[in-house]
Amino acid sequence: MRLNTQTALITGASAGIGIETARLFAEEGARLILLARREELLRRLADELKDSTGCETQILVCDVREVSAVNAAIAKLPESWRDIDLLINNAGLSRGLDKIHEGRLQDWEEMIDTNIKGLLYVSKAVLPGMVARGRGMVINVASIAGREVYPRGNVYCATKHAAKALSQAMMIDTNGTGVRVCNIDPGLVETEFSQVRFRGDSELARQVYEGYTPLKGRDVAEAILFCATRPAHVNIADMLIFPSDQASSTLVHKRKMNYEL
């Protein structure tokens, strides 16, 4: 299945897996609706895609945590952009790595509101149209944290378990409608993820990815593209992607660092 007749909405499109998915989908000829909070980054991306591939885009500047903003943004799409073929629910974040009894309420709320409620709000705005048209695909970017709970991952892991449950729920409830639902669980991907988790502490973020080769946003984008381009009778329901040196949330083979030699 080619993407050159398809309209894809990507959330969290301004960085990481989202921006790489946008670049890859643009190369494949999709029309893109780019949704994120940071307008400047979205505008820059839209210009880049136009220059590099001629990709047509719509920009939706909104926070997926705000249901009225999500609905208003999608309602503002021009008529010819309303039939969304692919929804990539990629927006998500982690805040903090504290023991649960030491966690901050504000962090919990931000993760729950973004990773669970945000995914639901965008899906609620897009999925009914897919069902009515009898075609479409939702790809939810969850995490290995949706399969395993790891030390200090508590609420983040709970939100990703919820995302995975929602992928299954969407697949069950849309069964027979022609809509496909795919869940992708990446392991360690070197993006802004750890910077956000550690609130800009670059040294802590750097340590997460040292001593082995982590996944890049492009690696996950390629998996998303693979799922999105299967023939209509094929649904990749669930996918787990690790760097080669990762075997579980807590088992990562790290080579010796120079400073240890």
Which parts of this chain interact with ligand 8X3 (CB under 6 A)? 143-145, 153, 187-188, 193, 249
Specify whether 150 is catalytic.
no
Q: Least distance to ligand 8X3 from the beta carbon of 94, Å? A: 7
Compute the distance between CA of residue 69 and CA of residue 5 in angstroms, rounded to an integer: 28
Selected catalytic residue, list 121, 150, 156, 209: 156
Residue closer to ligand 8X3, measured from CB, 6 or 183:
183
CA distance 218 to 23: 9
- Per-position b or e across 186-221, b if 16+ CB within 10 A of its CB: bbbbbbbbbbbbbeeeeeebeebbeeeebbbbebbb
Q: Cβ 188 to ligand 8X3, closest distance in Å?
A: 6
The label of the residue with tokens 């999925």 reads 127
When the beta carbons of 121 and 193 are compared against ligand 8X3, the nearer one is 193
- Residue at shortest CB range from ligand 8X3: 143
How far, CA to CA in Å, does 56 sit from each of 14, 101, 188?
Answer: 16, 48, 31
Question: What distance in Å separates the CA atoms of residue 150 and residue 55, rounded to the nearest whole number?
Answer: 40
Nearer to ligand 8X3 (CB atom), residue 74 or residue 223 = 223
CB 166 within 8 A of CB 89: no
> 3-state DSSP helix/strand/coil percent for the chain, to nearest 5?
45, 15, 35
Which of 145/162 has CB closer to ligand 8X3? Answer: 145
Q: Residue 93 Cβ, how far from ligand 8X3 at the closest point, in Å?
A: 10
The least distance separating ligand 8X3 from the CB of residue 55, rounded to whole angstroms, comes to 28
Active site residues: 156
